[in-house]
Structure 1
Amino acid sequence: MAGILTLHLFLESSATATGVIADFENTADVTSWSFYNGGEFPGARGAIISATSLNRKCAELQYVFTPIQGSTAAFDPHYVLVQHTVSAQQSTGAIAVRFLQQLSSPDLNISIRITDATGQTLQYAAKGIPPLTARSSGAWRETNIDLAKPSQYWSGANDGVVHPPIAKIAVLLDATGKRDKGYVRFDDIELVGAPSSATTLELTGGTLIAPGVSLGTLAERTGVNLHFTNNTPVLDKIKTAGLRWVRMDFTWSTIEQVAGTYNFSSFDTLVTTAEARGLSVLAILDYGNALYTGGAMTPPRTTQAINAYAAYCEAIARHYVGRNVVFEIWNEPDVAGFWGGSPNAAEYALVLKAGVASVMRGNANARVITGGLSTPYELTYRYWDTLENLGAMAGASGFGTHLYTDGPPEERWTDILRLNDRVARVMPGKALWCTEWGFSSTRLSTTNPKNGHDSVARTAQANRVVRELLVGWWANLPLIVLYDIYDDGSNAQEPEHNFGLLAQDLSEKPAMTAVRTLLSFANGRTLAGLMQYNNAPSGVHVLRLDGSTNKVYIVWAEETAPAFTLLIPDLRAQIKSMTGQTLSATTVGGKLSLSVTPSLGPVFVQIPSDTSAPSVPANLSGKATSTTAVSLTWTASTDNVAVTGYGVYRNNTLAGTTASTSYSDSGLNLSTSYAYSISAYDAAGNISARSSAVSVTTLSASSSSASSSSSSSSSSSSSGTSPGTPGLPLSGGSSASPDASGSGIATNSSSAASSGGGGSLGIYSLSMLLIITSVRRIA
């Protein structure tokens, strides 16, 4: 049961909703929105209706961007929209719009329009990103729009600034490139104000979203791109960092310089030195050959050239039988520079089919991946459509993609889900491989001119590189290849020169240090899951790794997320930055307090497993308060972390639990003596031995107005126990079983009876414990 209740981030104060526009729980919420078909551009049809999707009531804006059959009317649809009037009270202090959306097709273009007090219309792109907890491209997407950043505006003040109060809000669906029908569903649309105060998040235990399948280790799926065949010092750095894969072009023109003769010697050096360091090789079978194609970067287009390429693929697969080599058919065939100046999906389909079949002829046990396209966007999706329609991916072992973006790595979650859907459809049982992904420090530079050597830019690169690996691990991608191992040049203003984990002189950049830090924390730990928490700011993420002796929480904020204070309720916690530096935290009220900002990057919070039980409660005393009730008090226990609560035992049977140092027990018999003892427990499930028992006698009918004095019993305390039920799994993986008294209370036989020792046993809520006790009494 490890990982069901773990970390929870409680948002004490964040962006506040100034006005909930609609939650669509009733029909009136939908009818208050008016539909408009963009009549100035004739032909669009549609409607707004109430709908329910994934157990959520919502509004559905339907569109039909197809002509009416047989109609001769003008047809040039541009958009449909629905509009709602906003009250001044709802829009007071609004700085953003927040809502959920669900699309009939992932390529739909959605916008939000605002009309302000001057009559100005401001339009905003409303790109929704599914949460990292989503495992389907059809999941609801969260959308957050900054009202200070319109994509276009017109009329009224015409200055791009919202002049309050907001008069109207609209949801618009763009018809550009669409000649079909579908919908956008939206829900919980609200105007959001500025935070009332700084956000505080507390690490106290919450709901863990498990991945559903074992994700394996991070290292086994992490690699880096190379541009050499013989560089032992760099391969040593790769091994030391903890990476397990290298990717390299095994260029056709290098291997076959004489027709029909294949020379693998330089690549043999790479494979041998890589294998000696525990590194597997992804060999890209790519580019042209002047012997057949007319140039080194001209792809095979004729039957003769494709047959020659196929022969090269078969020869290389046969040559590396039994070696740690996986094959990829071409690199970015959708890019002009890698496909003779004119990318063509139908041409690549022929090459892909021939390459996959030939590799499998050379080695029936080989793994061969489709060539990774440059980056997911609508052109590449159409390219993939062509490959799918031509059946070109049949027989491949995996579906290759590159996941480049200038935005945060997390925004690629949309594409990962969308591509996973395609893989399931086209290549059942296979997986999506990320064969290239990286960030140029030049593109992340904020200086003018851009400076990829700037320390701030290089730190930003490290931040995103670590997060791309975390996203890939959470997505269960079999491989995530970082681009690339070292800078390809020395020009600080050239983006292509600044993708490296190492500088051109092979000195270590922050990105390499950060990768090593991440892999060191991931080593020997499993990815238990992603934390889901209520009311946390958009863009704040927490992953939990479980080890044998500790847990590591990886906490980070995307670039647009607010800074926040993280409270860690365990003073033993070790906190490291993404580059492995110890972060200083202040102690506030017995907790560690750390300021977290997006620029800080992922923070590693390592908390040792708690196996120490609280001290035994002392000074237990009790008195009768009536003929059917007694009152108990005791001195608080201490714990290495914190005492969560106390178990109250009556005649060796659990009567209930309490978080305080007092307890009232009722429903008793008159003039009857009861023996009470107390144990303490903590959040980790450790339970102390029981206190010495005291005997308390309820009042008799004749003396109900007097109190009965308590006396200490000389009986010894029992062993540490858990308020569990027989056969119910406990936190240590064991099961509770009846004790000698037949009460059904689990006993930890290894615990010391009176020395304060306790077992690591599960703790249940007061209501559950009382239900369990009542059932036992009835039985």
Structure 2
Amino acid sequence: MKKKSHISALLLIAILSFSCVSKSTALFVDNFENDTNPYGWSLVKDSGATGSFGFEKIGNNTVAKLNYDISNGGSWVGAQKSIQIVPKNAKGLRLQIKCSATSTAWIFLTDSTGRCFRHRLSRSLSDLDEMNWFNITLAFSTTPDSITGGVFTPTIQTGLKKITVAIEPRVSNMFGRDKWIPQPKGEMWFDNIEWITDFDETLHLITNEKDTISSTALWNKTGVCTHFEHGDLNKPDLITSLGFKCIRGDLAWGSVETKKGQFNYSYFDSIVKVAENNKLRTLFILCYGNKLYAKNTSDGLVSTEQITAFAHYCATTVRHFKGKDVDFEIWNEPNHPWFWLPKPDAIDFSKLLRVSIDSIKSANPKVTLISAGTAGIDWGFINTLGENKSLTGLDGIGVHPYVDGSPESISEDLICLRHLLKKYFKKVPKEWSTECGAISSKYGNGLSDSAQFCQARLDVRTILANWMVGFAYTYKYEFFCKGDSVDHQDNYGIIGFDMKPRPSYHAISTLQLLTENRLLLGRIKTQNTGAYALQFKGKNDNLLVLWTSAGKLVKDEAGYTTRFILPKKPICIYNYLGRKIPIPDKIKGQWILEAGGEVIYAVLPD
């Protein structure tokens, strides 16, 4: 490789990573070292879009460059190349890209029948600096985001005939809002497109222990969402047994002000007492309407009377809990139609937020206060709050990074949010992941064993991903299932409605037990962006946490596994549920461990 991608700081601290050694010689589709373009690249674009394709010299290297402009229509611009011969053993592609945080890169793969498999490309969780190049790995077995020109199949079934590298601006239009494009014009550079013939990773242990973070520090900022009204704190030992150190739940306006101007916090005092007795920090959500002032509790608060009364409730509440281990979040998912009727409006919410922040900080300037967690990382909604000067005074930015794909794909929305927030802060506050996690009903019958095992695999990866990107706090949604139906709202929990632990409970418990009393040294550098290897240092050993972001969760799902070549013979190996796995035989002098969509733990000697 002629240039190295940036190795970003894990958990926002500088952690040294070591490069893997590729066993195979690179088989280039193109490395653009011939300026006369002999390989047949051509500009292609969506109807209405304009752009250009060419080459640029960066140091001693020649790279490809795309410019796009969709000011007058269209959505993307790309460079396309016809493929004459595909190596028989090719399993995917690798390339290097540089583009703005407000752009999204794509690869389109067109087969011999004319079907186009479109893959949205996500940065690795270690590549969150938009000023740097980043590597992308795409396995042909990966399920595309969409297919045009034919019947949907999860992977290419016939010969690959064309490769298109495309760029489009990021678009904010969650929940049917009007489309907003932060930058309709932009550019992208790409280079070193090569065929992948294997997904092997030769791992080298990190030896630099200068910049580390203890697992205790990580778990101190990891918690769970609770519903106090359902008795979630009746068994606090179940929460603490998982290593969780904080809880989040509603302190609804209507539950404490039942007569205008009169407040009763006795119920929530008891919650804080139980939490403090169990060394749990509480995040209260100051939320929702009050029927003394609005027809429905889910109505957006827009009148002067409503905003003034809500701000008074916020200030009174914060003043009441002054000196306690309590933080506050203003509202929950105001960008979602369920929580701001008749429909979400960022400008309306910004007015409520601005007055509430001022009122709260007047009551207690030292209180930790974060903005409402948005459904998803809704950078467009949050940007509108910033434009309306409603973020000043906050100590954190709330987000709910639920994703349809892998937990690691939060990188693209997160880097865009961080880019936009720089406009409104000299020192940007950290994001709080106040809801996250998987739901079993996404994988069929949410009560089935197979669906719950998928949830467990993803819940562990979600926590690890949240740690890697440096969220200030992470709250798994949720602790107890609210019902015993197959409805999706009843299948987020890690404890079933029958009070029995679900597989997620055991998976998170395994993560906690194996990382306990260890130091996180960082992510071991891998050449394939979907291959993750985290190293935790123990007193006399090292714990490797291994998985593949595009790996299979179920047998028939598209995806691939990574063959991790370990530097030493493992002492023991565990699966994501804590069950021991046989140590593999040494093959040609190597210990090889395969990991797909589920986390595998390998304990190695020093």
TM-score of the superposed pair, with normalisation by structure 1: 0.67
Q: Structure 1, residues 139-163: CA drift from partner, whole Å, max 9, x if none?
A: 435152638966334499x999665
How much has 1:344 moved relative to structure 2?
0.6
Tell me the distance in 1 between the aligned counterparts of 2:492 and 2:304.
37
**Equivalence for 2:7:** none
Matching of residue 188 in structure 1 with residue 192 in structure 2:
yes
Partner SS state of residue 126, structure 1? strand
Q: In structure 2, what is the equivalent of residue 532 of structure 1?
A: 525
Q: Are the counterparts in 2 of residues 92 and 164 from structure 1 also a CA contact under 8 Å?
A: no
**In the alignment, what sits opposite 1:99?**
95
Counterpart CA distance in 2 for 1:332 and 1:242 is 27
Distance in 2, matches of 1:365 and 1:392, equals 18
Distance of aligned partners of 1:469 and 1:335 in 2 relative to their CA distance in 1, 3 Å threshold? same
**CA contact 1:152–1:160 (8 Å) conserved in 2:** no
3-state DSSP of counterpart to 2:274: helix
User: 2:125 is matched by which residue type in structure 1?
Assistant: L
SS of aligned partner of 1:270: helix
Report if aligned partners of 1:370, 1:400 keep a CA contact under 8 Å in 2.
yes
- The answer to whether the 8 Å contact 2:81/2:164 transfers is yes
Secondary structure class of the residue paired with 1:404: coil
Q: Would you say the 8 A contact 2:254–2:291 is kept in 1?
A: yes
In structure 1, C-alpha distance between the alignment counterparts of 2:384 and 2:401, rounded to whole Å: 20
Q: CA deviation at 1:361?
A: 1.6
CA contact (8 A) 1:210 1:530 kept: no
Cα–Cα, structure 1 residues 531 and 595, in superposed 2: closer, same or farther, change >3 Å?
closer
Aligned residue number for residue 36 of structure 2: 28
Moved more, 566-575 or 554-563: 566-575
Distance 1:211 1:56, change over 3 A: farther
Q: CA deviation at 1:329?
A: 0.4
Measured in 2, the distance between the counterparts of 1:544 and 1:453 equals 34
Preserved contact between residue 142 and residue 154 of structure 2 (Cα < 8 Å): no
CA contact (8 A) 2:546 2:595 kept: no
1:267 maps to which residue? 268
Deviation at 1:469, TM superposition (A): 1.1
8 Å Cα contact 2:226-2:232 kept in structure 1: no
Q: 2:406 aligns with which of 408, 422, 428?
A: 408
Q: Which runs of 5+ in 1 are unaligned?
A: 68-75, 610-779
The one-letter amino acid paired with 2:488 is P
Letter in 2 for 1:298: D
| Residues 32-181 of structure 1 aligned to structure 2 (within 5 Å) | 32-36=40-44, 41=47, 44-51=49-56, 57-66=62-71, 77=74, 79-86=76-83, 88-90=84-86, 96-104=92-100, 106-108=102-104, 110-112=106-108, 114=110, 116=112, 120-139=113-132, 140-144=134-138, 146=140, 151-154=146-149, 163-164=158-159, 166=161, 168-173=162-167, 180-181=184-185
| Cα 1:63/1:205, change in 2 over 3 Å | same
Provide the rounded CA distance (Å) in 2 between the counterparts of 1:155 and 1:515: 41
Name the aligned partner's letter for residue 549 of structure 2.
E
Q: Secondary structure at the match of 1:411?
A: helix
Residue type at the aligned position of 2:227 = H
Task: Name the SS of the counterpart of 1:241 in structure 2.
Answer: coil
* Identical positions, percent: 25
Distance 1:474 1:286 in 2: 30
> Displacement of 1:522 after TM fit?
2.6
Which has the larger displacement, 170-179 or 555-564? Answer: 170-179
CA distance 1:423–1:221, shift in 2 (3 Å):
farther
Aligned residue number for residue 635 of structure 1: none
Aligned residue for 2:543, secondary structure, equals strand
Deviations 1:304-348 (A, max 9, x none): 110000000000000001000000000000111101231110111
**Structure 2 SS opposite 1:588:** coil
* CA–CA distance in structure 2, aligned partners of residues 322 and 220 of structure 1: 19
Match of residue 502 from structure 2:
509
Alignment partners' CA distance in 2, 1:530 and 1:315: 45
Q: Secondary structure at the match of 1:28?
A: coil
2:603 alignment counterpart: 606
Aligned to 2:243: 242
Query: Which of the two has higher C-alpha Rg?
Result: 1
Partner of 1:707: none
1:556 to 532, 547, 557: 547
Opposite residue 33 of structure 1, the aligned amino acid is: W
Distance 1:219 1:36, change over 3 A: closer
In structure 1, C-alpha distance between the alignment counterparts of 2:121 and 2:305, rounded to whole Å: 47
What secondary structure sits across from 2:241 in the alignment? helix
- SS in structure 2 at match of 1:338: coil
**Mean Cα displacement is larger for which, 140-149 or 543-552?**
140-149
Judged with a 3 Å threshold, the aligned counterparts in structure 2 of structure 1 residues 124 and 53 are, in CA distance, closer, same or farther, namely farther
Task: Sort the Cα spacing of 1:347 and 1:209 in 2 relative to 1 into closer, same or farther, 3 A.
Answer: farther
User: 1:54, 1:286 → 2: CA distance?
Assistant: 54
The offset of 1:470, in angstroms, is 1.1
Other-structure match for 1:547 = 538
Are the counterparts in 1 of residues 370 and 397 from structure 2 also a CA contact under 8 Å? yes
Q: Distance in 2 between matches of 1:109 and 1:590?
A: 39
Residue of 514, 519, 533 corresponding to 1:521: 514
Q: In the TM superposition, what is the alpha-carbon distance from 1:185 to its structure 2 partner? A: 2.1
Counterparts in 2 of 1:265 and 1:591: CA distance versus 1, 3 Å: farther
What is the rounded CA distance, in whole Å, between the counterparts of 1:202 and 1:141 in structure 2?
17
Q: Helix, strand or coil for the counterpart of 2:441? A: coil
Matches within 5 A, 1:619-658: none
Superposed displacement of residue 417, structure 1: 2.6
- Greater relative CO (CA pairs within 8 A, separation 6+): 2
Distance in 2 (CA, whole Å) between partners of 1:160 and 1:225 is 37
One-letter amino acid matched to 1:463: R
- Paired with 2:66 and 2:19, the residues of 1 have a C-alpha distance of 36
**Alpha-carbon separation, structure 2, partners of 1:417 and 1:10:** 29
Q: Is the contact between residue 223 and residue 474 of structure 2 (CA under 8 Å) also seen in structure 1?
A: yes
Change (3 A) 1:171 1:591: closer
**8 A Cα contact 1:550 1:607, kept in partner:** yes
8 A Cα contact 1:420 1:431, kept in partner: no
- Aligned pair in 2 of structure 1 residues 20, 526: CA closer, same or farther (>3 Å)? same
Deviation of 1:181 after TM superposition, in Å, equals 2.1
Contact kept? 1:215, 1:473, Cα under 8 Å: no
- 8 Å CA contact retained: 1:7, 1:208: no
Q: Which residue of 1 aligns with 2:176?
A: none
Cα offset, 1:383, TM superposition? 1.3
When residues 115 and 243 of structure 1 are mapped into structure 2, their CA distance, relative to the original with a 3 A threshold, is closer
The alignment partner of 1:169 has SS state of strand
Query: Are 2:282 and 2:326, in contact at CA under 8 Å, matched by a contact in 1?
Result: yes
Alignment of 1:737-748 (within 5 A): none
Structure 2 gaps, min length 5: 1-13, 172-178, 552-558
CA distance in 2 between partners of 1:253 and 1:165 (Å): 60
CA distance in 2, matches of 1:345, 1:35: 38
Separation in 2 of the partners of 1:12 and 1:152?
33
Q: Distance in 2 between matches of 1:322 and 1:144?
A: 51
CA distance, structure 2, for counterparts of residue 184 and residue 563 of structure 1: 30
Say how many residue pairs are matched.
Answer: 571
| 1:317 counterpart letter in structure 2 | V
Alpha-carbon separation, structure 2, partners of 1:432 and 1:397:
9
Establish whether residue 281 from structure 1 lines up as the match of residue 273 from structure 2. Answer: no
Alignment correspondent of 2:436:
437
Matches within 5 A, 1:304-453: 304-376=305-377, 380-427=378-425, 428-443=427-442, 445=443, 450-453=444-447
Contact 2:15 2:522 in 1 (8 A): no
C-alpha deviation, 1:413, in angstroms: 2.1
- Give the whole-Å Cα distance in 2 for the aligned partners of 1:223 and 1:159: 36
